[in-house]
């Protein structure tokens, strides 16, 4: 039977179980949209391609499966780039399909022509410029295989318009290729690890996004509990360990609790699983865990020995590694180490001072988490609100905290919440954002209104780019420049303008009943919450300092 390149693309997406595509049409990808018209795939019209990329990320991060976004050539493709770079740094499998000017016009500065391949090369795991409709039959399955195998990541497929329109006879359809996660440790590495653990008196598990990506939470917990090893998590690993687990130490690093960083400073063995020793986690790297031997396990060989040399370096799937370790590790209660840790927790509690102001940021987050459905998915933007959520929200399950970790992209939260809602239609989505970040993709309120999604946007309104203001206060002699908003936009009026309900808590002395009522409803709502501009995220590791030198409460 005869098919156009566009029809081949759409049929292959269906064969890869893609039921939703997010994007914006334009001249160079209209044949793809025309093929989509006759398919069962649902199309979500984003209001900006960056929004489309983050909506796709929301689907991929919350489901663990690849998600697809579309953009036209030129500005459509450039608008996607930030979301693609963000996916690269956080290992998120998205497939970005861009239209390109027809093959014969490539390189002529044609209308809406940019070198999408050249620009996306450093921010994708892989990219393809498709030269013929026939090539699509191998490129699309290969794109899915690459995005989901090993360390996941974004793949871009640039399809010139003439390739989308080319008609060919297709007699044979390729079957989807299974993703390859079968990267296993050698038995000798497991034995060496067991022996290091047995000889350690003060071990700590340092876990990251790799634990979530390899679905290793169950084995991680069983292993940690069997041998009584405390666990600390990076921003990307939050949710992998239930918050109420006694062995859990919370997040480490720049805004971790003081006791967590102290414990790491004193540990004699660091089991680093699915982490990349990011500077936000390690602080001054030469001073990170100075007394510890290091076992580093990651599916990406390039991460091993990149920042910190490992005593045992293992390129492997973390879940498989933990399952083997669990078989061989002995029961141990580590009474001395655990009671020392408990004494440190008491000596340096987090938060240092309790505060009964309902508008204190940590209290707002506590209130929301108590009122939200227990299986809610949380997204954040980037700034102080993101760090407060990371510090205190009681995450209990993997894939319930979606945040821009590596790239730290303001504008992530709102569109990512749309993706989470699309992939989890029965769940409530809570998006914590700031008055700076929300403006960066505020147009997606229109998408939320159109789809009537169960998203609650919790806007921490401090009239500032809060995290920048905080840095200027603490490290730039209070030279406040470009961190204050002198305008006072009505975010409620803006939300209403898009058709989204909104509530303003300014002047509300009893916010809890109001929040309780709003969170019990199923439609979208923006909640504007005034917070003091002087609230800071503490404690904090000053730039260039070691984690144990953190300052603040
Ligand atoms: C796209 C982008 N531009 C700039 C920054 C630098 N930056 C980091 S946090 C921040 C302020 C965020 O302000 P807001 O969203 O209001 O959150 P708050 O810190 O007040 O909670 C800025 C400008 C960034 N992370 N992303």
Read off the tokens for 174. Answer: 């390729």
Distance (angstroms) between ligand 1 centre and the Cα of 146 equals 32
Other C-beta atoms within 10 Å of 25: how many?
Answer: 18
pLDDT of residue 177: 85
Phi, psi dihedral angles at 464 (to 5 degrees):
-145, 165
Please report, for residues 136, 490, 537, the alpha-carbon distance to residue 236 in angstroms, rounded to integers and kept in the order given: 34, 33, 18
- First CA to last CA distance, the chain: 70
Distance (angstroms) between ligand 1 centre and the Cα of 9 equals 38
Distance (angstroms) between ligand 1 centre and the Cα of 261 equals 25
User: In 3-state terms, the chain is what percent helix, strand and coil (to 5)?
Assistant: 40, 20, 40
**Which amino acid residue places its CA nearest to atom 2 of ligand 1?**
410
pLDDT of residue 355: 87
Q: Is the pTM of this model over 0.85?
A: yes
Distance (angstroms) between ligand 1 centre and the Cα of 414 equals 14
Distance (angstroms) between ligand 1 centre and the Cα of 385 equals 10
Residues whose beta carbon lies within 6 Å of some atom of ligand 1: 381-385, 408-411, 434-437, 460, 462, 464-468
Distance (angstroms) between ligand 1 centre and the Cα of 442 equals 14
Q: Give the residue among 89, 130, 52 at the shortest CA–CA distance from 141.
A: 130
pLDDT of residue 192: 97
pLDDT of residue 182: 85
Q: Which atom of ligand 1 is nearest to the CA of 409?
A: 26
**Which amino acid residue places its CA nearest to atom 23 of ligand 1?**
465
Q: Give the residue among 278, 453, 314, 270 at the shortest CA–CA distance from 379.
A: 453
Sign for the pseudo-dihedral over CA of 336, 337, 341, 342: negative
d(CA 90, CA 208): 10
pLDDT of residue 303: 97
d(CA 248, CA 423): 29
Q: Give the residue among 208, 204, 352 at the shortest CA–CA distance from 265.
A: 204
Q: Give the residue among 63, 64, 66, 53 at the shortest CA–CA distance from 16.
A: 66
Provide the Cα torsion 383, 386, 390, 391; round to 10°: 60
Reported as type and span, the H/E element at residue 251 is: strand 248-251
Phi, psi dihedral angles at 240 (to 5 degrees):
-70, -30
DSSP code, position 432:
E
Distance (angstroms) between ligand 1 centre and the Cα of 464 equals 9
Decide: 248 and 352 in contact? Cβ < 8 Å.
no
SS (H, E, C) 370-408: HHCCCCCEEEECCCHHHHHHHHHCCCCCCCCEECCCCCC
pLDDT of residue 282: 97
Please report, for residues 235, 393, 422, the alpha-carbon distance to residue 401 in angstroms, rounded to integers and kept in the order given: 9, 9, 16
Please report, for residues 290, 548, 551, the alpha-carbon distance to residue 262 in angstroms, rounded to integers and kept in the order given: 11, 6, 13
pLDDT of residue 429: 98
Ligand 1 pocket test, pick from 384, 467, 528, 540 with the greatest ligand atom count within 8 Å of Cβ, gives: 467
- Listed in order, strand segments (DSSP E) in 449-537 are 455-461, 501-504, 525-530
What average pLDDT values come out for the chain (553 residues) when binned by 10 residues? Answer: 98 98 98 97 98 99 98 98 98 98 97 98 98 98 97 98 98 90 92 98 98 97 98 98 97 96 97 97 96 97 96 97 97 98 95 90 97 97 98 98 98 98 98 98 98 98 98 98 97 98 96 97 98 96 95 85
- 281-313: b (≥16 Cβ within 10 Å) or e: bbbbeeebbeebbbbbbbbbeebbeebbebebb
The edge-to-edge listing of strands for the beta sheet with 248-251 is 248-251, 231-233, 203-207, 269-273, 293-298, 312-315
d(CA 497, CA 263): 50
Ligand 1 pocket test, pick from 436, 460, 529 with the greatest ligand atom count within 8 Å of Cβ, gives: 436
d(CA 276, CA 256): 17
Decide: 320 and 296 in contact? Cβ < 8 Å.
no
**Which amino acid residue places its CA nearest to atom 11 of ligand 1?**
465
Decide: 72 and 26 in contact? Cβ < 8 Å.
yes
d(CA 281, CA 261): 10
pLDDT of residue 178: 84
């Amino acid at each position: 039977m005869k098919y156009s390149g566009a029809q081949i693309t759409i049929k292959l997406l269906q064969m890869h179980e893609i039921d939703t595509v997010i994007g914006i049409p334009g001249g160079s990808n209209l044949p793809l949209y025309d093929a989509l018209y006759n398919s069962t795939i649902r199309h979500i019209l984003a209001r900006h391609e960056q929004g489309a990329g983050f909506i796709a990320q929301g689907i991929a991060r919350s489901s663990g499966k690849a998600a697809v976004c579309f953009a036209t050539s030129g500005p459509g493709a450039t608008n996607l780039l930030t979301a693609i770079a963000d996916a690269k740094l956080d290992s998120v499998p998205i497939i970005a399909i861009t239209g390109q000017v027809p093959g014969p016009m490539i390189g002529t500065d044609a209308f809406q022509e940019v070198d999408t391949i050249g620009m996306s090369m450093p921010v994708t795991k892989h990219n393809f410029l498709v030269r013929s409709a026939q090539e699509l039959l191998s490129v699309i399955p290969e794109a899915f295989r690459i995005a989901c195998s090993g360390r996941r990541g974004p793949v871009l497929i640039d399809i010139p318009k003439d390739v989308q329109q080319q008609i060919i006879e297709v007699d044979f359809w390729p079957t989807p290729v299974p993703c390859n996660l079968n990267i296993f440790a050698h038995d000798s590495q497991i034995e060496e690890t067991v022996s290091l653990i047995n000889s350690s008196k003060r071990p700590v598990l340092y876990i990251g996004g790799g634990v979530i990506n390899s679905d290793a939470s169950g084995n991680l917990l069983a292993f940690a509990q069997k041998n009584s090893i405390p666990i600390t998590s990076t921003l990307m690993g939050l949710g992998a360990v239930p918050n109420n687990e006694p062995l859990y130490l919370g997040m480490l690093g720049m805004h971790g609790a003081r006791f967590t960083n102290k414990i790491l400073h004193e540990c004699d063995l660091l089991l680093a699983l699915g982490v990349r020793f990011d500077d936000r986690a390690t602080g001054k790297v030469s001073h990170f865990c100075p007394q510890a031997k290091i076992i580093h396990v990651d599916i990406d060989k390039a991460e091993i020995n990149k920042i910190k040399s490992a005593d045992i370096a293992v390129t492997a799937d973390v879940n498989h590694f933990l399952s083997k370790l669990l078989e061989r590790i002995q029961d141990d209660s580590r009474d001395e180490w655990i009671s020392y840790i408990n004494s440190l927790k008491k000596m340096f509690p987090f938060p240092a001072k309790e505060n009964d102001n309902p508008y204190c940021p940590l209290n707002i987050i506590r209130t929301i988490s108590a009122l939200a459905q227990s299986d809610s998915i949380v997204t954040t933007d980037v700034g102080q609100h993101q760090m407060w959520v990371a510090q205190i929200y009681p995450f209990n399950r993997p894939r319930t905290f979606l945040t821009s970790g590596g790239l730290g992209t303001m504008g992530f939260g709102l569109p990512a919440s749309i993706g989470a809602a699309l992939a989890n239609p029965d769940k409530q989505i809570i998006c914590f954002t700031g008055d700076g970040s929300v403006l960066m993709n505020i147009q997606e309120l229109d998408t939320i209104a159109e789809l009537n999604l169960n998203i609650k946007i919790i806007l921490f309104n401090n009239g500032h780019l809060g995290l920048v203001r905080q840095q200027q206060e603490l490290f730039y002699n209070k030279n406040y420049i470009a961190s204050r908003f002198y305008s006072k936009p009505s975010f409620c009026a803006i939300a209403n303008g898009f058709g989204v309900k909104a509530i303003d808590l300014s002047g509300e002395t009893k916010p809890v009943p109001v929040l309780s009522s709003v969170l019990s409803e199923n439609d979208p709502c923006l909640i504007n919450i005034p917070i003091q501009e002087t609230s800071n995220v503490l404690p904090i590791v000053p730039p260039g300092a070691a984690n144990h030198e953190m300052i603040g409460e």
